[in-house]
Amino acid sequence: MEQIPIKETILQKYLKIKKRYFPVQNPIKLVVESYEGEIQLHTVEYPNEGTMRGVVFIFLGQGSYMDFYGAIFEQFAKQGYRLFGMDRQGFGKSEGKRGDIGPDPVNDQLIFVDKIIEAKKLQDAKKYILGMSLGSLLAARMIQMRPDFFDGVIFTIPWFANHDLWHINPIKRWYIDFISCCSRDSVFTRMKRSEEYEEYFTYIKEHDPLYVGVFRHNTLSKCLMMQDKLKQEWSKIKIPVFMALAGNDVVVSNKLNEELYQQIYHKMNKCTTYEGKPHMLFHQEGDYNQLIVDSIEWLKSLDNQDKVADGDAFDIHYKLNL
């Protein structure tokens, strides 16, 4: 009799991930403004192997930190992409009040990008962004503020709006904003999910001191305002987009994400839904793997498209000079 494979739990898949620090720690000194004054943020680099195809700036989701993902993003470096990332204020190895993303997280990331480009002399390199969840929201706002600066973006499990299960009505929104104004220390009470998820979440909190599980009202209020602004200025996103969605995501609104995707056009745009995968797919060995492969192939397709365009331009120039 054929045995039915035993389904692995969220925690079991998480424990299979090989954690590895990025090989270059703090390639630049990054100092930004917090509510308490100047603080230093932790930055990382993964140098490319072989000829550099481009630079990828990585911005993570709520609670995450860069050095959890060294082994995962090594695959980009092996394909010629030079990677840089940072832990936001209050997260990972960066300074700041735990769980508080600071007064202007979008500006923090723009400062980071500018300093990396200047310090590493990458002005002429192709520049891409890969965002996860909250990182996708912040990345989108960066692009809206600098529409022609980046050459492409990968929005993975983008938190552009809450899933219907976590819908925030106007009264609750007013309450969040009010509490945020009254106290930056106030922590949003998270709603419990399935027993399987709570096992995973409890384990991370107890065994990973760099993971930040708290969600402050001040941070949530700021994120909701950024979501409003993102939707108002969505048409400013004109660069190539790869949107990667998790089919079993109960955190973000895939419905809204798909609607937004339909409103932008570029011949290199791509949207893929990874069926059956959860929002925390980057914490699940076996779930993120195909997404990484697809992301690299999509970046390469942009590079190939540019080469074709350059060839066409040369051909036109050549014919005009005959």
Domain 10-319 belongs to what topology?
A: Rossmann fold (3.40.50)
Rounded CA-CA distance 115/26 in Å is: 12
Query: Is the Cβ–Cβ distance between 42 and 24 less than 8 Å?
Result: no
Looking at residue 216, the DSSP 8-state letter turns out to be B
pLDDT at site 321: 40
pLDDT at site 5: 61
- How does strand 54-59 pair with strand 127-132? parallel
pLDDT at site 320: 36
Rounded CA-CA distance 236/287 in Å is: 32
Look at residues 263, 278, 268 and name the one whose alpha carbon lies nearest to residue 302. Answer: 268
- Say how many C-beta atoms besides its own lie within 10 A of residue 252's C-beta: 24
Looking at residue 252, the DSSP 8-state letter turns out to be B
pLDDT at site 3: 56
pLDDT at site 137: 98
Q: Where are the domains of the chain?
A: 10-319
Rounded CA-CA distance 145/140 in Å is: 9
Look at residues 69, 76, 82, 74 and name the one whose alpha carbon lies nearest to residue 27. Answer: 82
pTM: predicted TM-score of the whole model, two decimal places: 0.92
pLDDT at site 2: 55
Write down the residue that tokens 């917090």 correspond to. Answer: 34
pLDDT at site 190: 77
Rounded CA-CA distance 100/98 in Å is: 6
- How does strand 81-86 pair with strand 43-46? antiparallel
pLDDT at site 69: 94
**pLDDT digits 0-9 by tens, 68-86:** 999 999 999 999 999 999 9
pLDDT at site 307: 63
Given a cut of 70, the residues of the chain with pLDDT beneath it are 1-6, 307-322
Write down the residue that tokens 């760099």 correspond to. Answer: 210
